[in-house]
Structure 1
Amino acid sequence: MKTSGLHHVTAIGGDPQRNADFYLRTLGLRLVKTTVNFDDPGTYHLYYGDGSGRPGSLMTFFPWRDAPSGRRGTGQATTTSFSVPEASIGWWKQHLASAGVETSQVTSRDNEETLTFQDPDGLVLALVAHPQGDPREPWDTALVPAEHAIRGLHSVTLSVSKEDATAGMLTGDLGLSFTEQDGNRLRFSAGDGGPGAMVDVLVTPDAPRGLVAAGTVHHVAWRAPDEPTQLTWREELVDKGVQVTSVLDRQYFRSIYFREPGGTLLEVATDEPGFSIDEPLLELGRALKLPPWLEPNREQISATLPKLRLPSENNPEVRA
């Protein structure tokens, strides 16, 4: 079985309003679904992405207002990178500075320019300009116009203390290919590679073990085209002795979860059915959506959640 690339990255945040303001206004993404953590419906699950929330464009959050800060280290995805147009890194450096976001110097690796920074909770993010470009259509807003906007996920970086077992799972169980090495950083790619289909493995034997809490990644999800493929994938993983969850209904996709040997929680998520199954495309993210099994508790859940105000950038009718 081979994945075609990244499906989404899910992280833990702090205050949900601050989280939404940053990802919608500063980064120019669209909130494509406002729902709750199905395992803990007292907190939101916010999905950010392109105009329709296509797999590979998605960054999602469990924002707990009083969540303690996590610790970056091994056993985690320690950097989440987004893809931007090749000529846009300078624009982004200026845009982030005007928003009060401190950034690194622009670096170059593998002919890609990279700008690194942190979100309000300390989550490490990067913007990467791939030399061959990225044809994916972005979400267009007044604050982040289409010519500079994020195209989707570029890659993730997994920090591990040892490389062999992690590399073995990426190639043997996810179908990725080893493409290159730069010192203690190894790159693996799905399919033909390119933005949205890459993962870097950073080998740091002396780094502390990471602690998953606010400002860290909870899990990294990889794409499966449909449920039959996912079921076959699960059977293959179980046959190899991997501890895998049962298939879980996440309403907008189906999921299985397991850990790679270095400790990072991975997910295989289906491309189907998508985010427009319970609200029109133009209205994505505006209303709180609950799965059928939580709908009877809507009043109680709504009363528990903090109020969330969406900026006009998330509303196509207002933007027009």
Structure 2
Amino acid sequence: MDDKALGRKSGIVLVDNGSLNPKSILEARSLASSLSKRLQRSVASVSVAHSDGVPACELGGLRAQLWKSYLEEAVSSGRQEIFAIPLFIGPGFALKKGKKMGLAQSKASGGPIVRWADPLVSMTEQGSLLTEILAENVLRVLDASRAEPKGHRVMLVDHGSPFVEVTACRNFAASQLQSALGNQVESVVGCSMERREGKEFDFNEPSLEKALSRAVEEGIENVVICYLFLFSGRHAGSGGDIDQICLKAGWSPSRNLLKTDLIGLNPKLLDLLEIRLNSIQPKPEFQ
């Protein structure tokens, strides 16, 4: 489906949180490029914040674009409609900020209209493609290790959030992953890389640090870290925050610790993004 077929000037954009890690930005661009080739339409990659702080020389000479700039360009080019696919696990601060920015721009300039797809975790989906991706990632590292999978505890780790609805998405994803893996693993535990201080943020528990300590206390000898992260960065990248938490808790590859690939590296993510796009585009009978 191209812009002419839609009968309006429209755009497709992947919106992420943003990163100061060049590799994360380049991986997001690669994902947008792959989706563009599949759809035979232009797909932009933008960030709500941070990414414009990375020098262009570290990004192949092309500076990262922020969502605000993309919206301004859309207005100046007369774009009427934007189909935005959020690269977020759930409705956290950055996504809410991005939606407010889109609405404010639309009201101020009379357009474009921004149509948002659901985040990657949708609590109305049972047995979703995201669950398939996570299960594949876990089973792939277990197969590669030739370990007995039933003794492994899987820890599905996300960033942690001050918004209870984001943690609810994480916990839902963990329960779906548990259903998909069944008795192939010891159990699946959803946990947060970090959390804010204060009792009001206890919904983030368990933290990854506490989940790892509890595993030791309960006699678990094998752990799989399953990343609920899309791209490399200071959190999920090699030597990043999650690696440091594992080492501090006494877990390392030498102690039967396995780590999955990131979500963004699984080819099925393109299928999920296409589903998200189709959910907000006009249906064929109305085109």
TM-score under structure 2 length normalisation: 0.28
Between Structure 1 and Structure 2, the one with more strand by share is: 1
Work out which structure has the larger RCO, using CA pairs closer than 8 Å and 6 or more positions apart in sequence.
1
Task: Report the structure number with the largest CA radius of gyration.
Answer: 2
TM-score under structure 1 length normalisation: 0.26
